[in-house]
Amino acid sequence: MVDIDAFLKKRIDESNLRTLKPIEKRNGSVIYKNREVFFDFSSNDYLGLSSKKELIDSVNEVFELFGSGAVASRLLSGDLAIHHELEELTASFKKKEDALIFNSGYQANVGIISALCGKNDVIFLDRLSHASLVDGALLSGAKIFRFSHNDLNHLELLLKKEREKFKNALIVTESVFSMDGDFAPLKEIVELKDRFSCEFLVDEAHATGVYGSEGSGLIEELGLTDRIELIMGTYGKALAVSGAYLASSKKIKEYLINSSRSFIYSTAMPAIVVSMIIKSIDICKKEHWRRDKVKNLASLFRGILKEADIPFKGDSQIVAVIIGDNQKTVNIANYLQNNKFWVLPIRYPTVPMGEARLRISFSSNHTEDVTVSLAKGIIEAFKKTI
């Protein structure tokens, strides 16, 4: 066993102890904690769908049909007609041949990569890839090379040096990075993956709902759907429900149903959850204004920070205000919380050491006024604490 006391003491000494802070009530982007009200700038509810009543309208009817939980895994008696309906809808949403549902994005990435790769294979992974992608790669037993974040030269160098030593190769990245809010150079990576005969897995957790004409993701927006074999995404972020999917070929789906342990050995997603996802995708496709609004708010915010010379990263609906030091980041977050903005400090190991930051994520539920006030609050906090 690890030395728990030493671990916790180290976390406290480094201003890096995590604690849970329950929300008592959420209404869109307004949250209530300790009977105080905050504007939430740390959720992934980019399209503001989490409080849409339409999402639960179908739930009673679906409960009558399937009951509460699925009560078994998909391969036993938990495989419901409504799962197939969502898989077909997801495949058409992502414009791939077929799709497979997982209970969470974490389970999806671990289950997909560990099933598709083995010890004779090699995985090239962006250094800032989500923990679930890293864990899937580790579990697979494949040889792993991590290329510097979005660095095509480094990726090419590794491919030249290492690719031919292995049978199969997989390149893994995210389309919109969760902690930096930047985009992967997908077009260029697609060229490399073709040149070096690799398969390509892209995690669209933060792009789903926000990019593409109907919210399918960044891959569709860039016209790369047919050139990327494995497109993963979640239903729990912009789509505001829960769960995840892999959009791919029928053959890959059939293989994963027979081999992916996080798919096989887990109770299937409840039908009432599936019905909310179906409704959410429907709203997401139709209500384009939500995508436009969330992007406009993020640009407005970036413009104000830029003017004030506040350092930030991110070109998407996620903006990372980079501070560096843990304690300073915590102080600035506390200052903002005292001013009713729910903004959290993001620290190592979620981000690299010395790159502590505020991760600000926008939602179409936010207003311009609140966005401007938050930017001003950050400028004020920088003046006070630095």
Ligand X SMILES: *Cc1c(COP(=O)(O)O)cnc(C)c1O
Catalytic residues: 44, 130, 174, 178, 203, 206, 237
Which residue from 155, 215, 162, 158 is spatially nearest to 188, judged by alpha carbons? 155
Total residues at the site for ligand X (CB under 6 A)? 14
Q: CB 232 → ligand X: shortest distance, Å? A: 8
Peptide bond into 349 cis (omega under 30): yes
Which is nearer to ligand X, 135 or 162 (by Cβ)?
Answer: 135
Residue type, 115: A
236 lies in the binding site for ligand X (CB under 6 A)? yes
106 lies in the binding site for ligand X (CB under 6 A)? yes
Instruction: Compute the chain's Rg from CA coordinates.
Output: 21
Q: CB 359 → ligand X: shortest distance, Å? A: 11
114 lies in the binding site for ligand X (CB under 6 A)? no
Which residue from 367, 218, 201, 376 is spatially nearest to 304, judged by alpha carbons? 376
Among 186, 205, 218, 323, binds ligand X (CB under 6 A): 205
209 lies in the binding site for ligand X (CB under 6 A)? no
Please state, in angstroms and rounded to a whole number, the distance separating the CA atoms of residues 141 and 143: 7
What is the token pair recorded at 35?
A: 């009977």
Which is nearer to ligand X, 132 or 150 (by Cβ)?
Answer: 132
Q: CB 177 → ligand X: shortest distance, Å? A: 8
Q: CB 3 → ligand X: shortest distance, Å? A: 29
Place of tokens 């004409």: 213
Among 83, 94, 96, 130, binds ligand X (CB under 6 A): 130
Please state, in angstroms and rounded to a whole number, the distance separating the CA atoms of residues 346 and 326: 9
Query: Alpha helix locations (H) across the chain?
Result: 4-13, 54-57, 59-66, 81-94, 105-116, 131-140, 152-162, 186-195, 218-221, 250-259, 261-264, 271-286, 288-307, 326-338, 368-385
Q: Which stretch binds ligand X (CB under 6 A): 14-22, 120-128, 202-210, 340-348?
A: 202-210
What is the token pair recorded at 230?
A: 């494995």
Which is nearer to ligand X, 186 or 381 (by Cβ)?
Answer: 186
Residue 232, beta-bridge partner list = 203, 246
174 lies in the binding site for ligand X (CB under 6 A)? yes
Which is nearer to ligand X, 74 or 377 (by Cβ)?
Answer: 74
Q: Which stretch binds ligand X (CB under 6 A): 53-61, 83-91, 203-211, 351-359?
A: 203-211
Q: Which stretch binds ligand X (CB under 6 A): 103-111, 145-153, 349-357, 358-366?
A: 103-111
Among 109, 331, 363, 365, binds ligand X (CB under 6 A): 109
Q: Is 44 exposed, middle or buried (0-12, 13-18, 19+ CB in 10 A)?
A: buried
Q: Which stretch binds ligand X (CB under 6 A): 70-78, 116-124, 198-206, 342-350?
A: 198-206
Please state, in angstroms and rounded to a whole number, the distance separating the CA atoms of residues 40 and 31: 6
Q: CB 210 → ligand X: shortest distance, Å? A: 13
Which is nearer to ligand X, 66 or 106 (by Cβ)?
Answer: 106
Among 244, 274, 281, 346, binds ligand X (CB under 6 A): 244
Which single residue brings its beta carbon nearest to ligand X? 105
Q: CB 273 → ligand X: shortest distance, Å? A: 12
The number of angstroms, rounded, from the C-alpha of 110 to the middle of its chain's C-alpha atoms is 14
Give whole-number Cα distances, 78 to 70, 151, 266, 269, 356, in Å: 5, 43, 10, 8, 43
126 lies in the binding site for ligand X (CB under 6 A)? no
Binding site for ligand X (CB under 6 A): 104-106, 109, 130, 132, 174, 178, 203, 205-206, 234, 236, 244
